[in-house]
Structure 1
Amino acid sequence: MQKFESLTDAVSELREKGYQAEFDAEPFCLYCSDLDMRLNPDEFHVDAIYNFEEIGKPDDNAVVYAISSAHGVKGLVVDPSQAISQHWDFEMAKKLRYQPVTPKP
């Protein structure tokens, strides 16, 4: 898996590789407003996951998911603070391999 210096670098290079659609992760599916497309967990594949943590700020994590669909659409899901992943149902969390971050005491 490729390592990127920043979230911006990851998004830019993935776009160059054809991941053009912007998906929002909803509790039960991914949604692209530009295409008015909803993808249930069984309709997309996670090609890569990139995690970013701002140095010195372990609570400030971001995740980029590169996904492809059975419909031939490739896109990105960006979770800038891992806030949206807190609202996924079990199937979405399992599909996106969500592992909750345990706060350190």
Structure 2
Amino acid sequence: MKKHYDTVSVAIEKLRKLGFTEDFNLKENCLAHPPDMIKADDFIIVDVYRYEGNSDPADEAAVYAIESFSGIKGILVTGYGISSDSASEEILKKLNIRE
């Protein structure tokens, strides 16, 4: 069951306790998981949490709980809305959200 967390930092803390311990970064059409580059087709998005800044649209962020088909679990934090970039949107469209 998905829960909503009050802030990005609380979401990250709770997801880490659930085993999402790796920090993912976007790079080209892959998720960077040092030292590897993992293709988007090898991951699913388990949950997504979106946050909007109270006074500044630039404070919008999304926290993704991601799991690879090989069992690697981690977190990806991106901006969205006015804060997003085209590379982030492109790779996130390729990822599947678990039903």
TM-score if structure 2 supplies the norm length? 0.81
CA drift at 1:94: 1.2
Instruction: Give the distance between the partners of 1:94 and 1:23, measured in 2 at CA.
Output: 16
Structure number with higher helix proportion: 2
Structure 1 residues 47-66: Cα deviation after superposition (integer angstroms, max 9, x where no partner)? 01111111122232011111
Q: Give the number of the structure whose alpha-carbon radius of gyration is greater.
A: 1
Alignment partner, residue 86 of structure 1: 86
Report % sequence identity.
Answer: 28
SS of equivalent residue, structure 1 residue 54:
coil
CA drift at 1:3: 0.6
Inter-CA distance 95–23: structure 2 relative to 1 (3 Å threshold):
same
Would you say how many aligned residue pairs link Structure 1 and Structure 2? 93
TM-score if structure 1 supplies the norm length? 0.77
Instruction: Give the distance between the partners of 2:68 and 2:15, measured in 1 at CA.
Output: 15
Alignment partner, residue 21 of structure 2: 20
CA drift at 1:84: 5.8
In structure 2, runs of 5+ residues without a counterpart are none
Inter-CA distance 2–72: structure 2 relative to 1 (3 Å threshold):
same
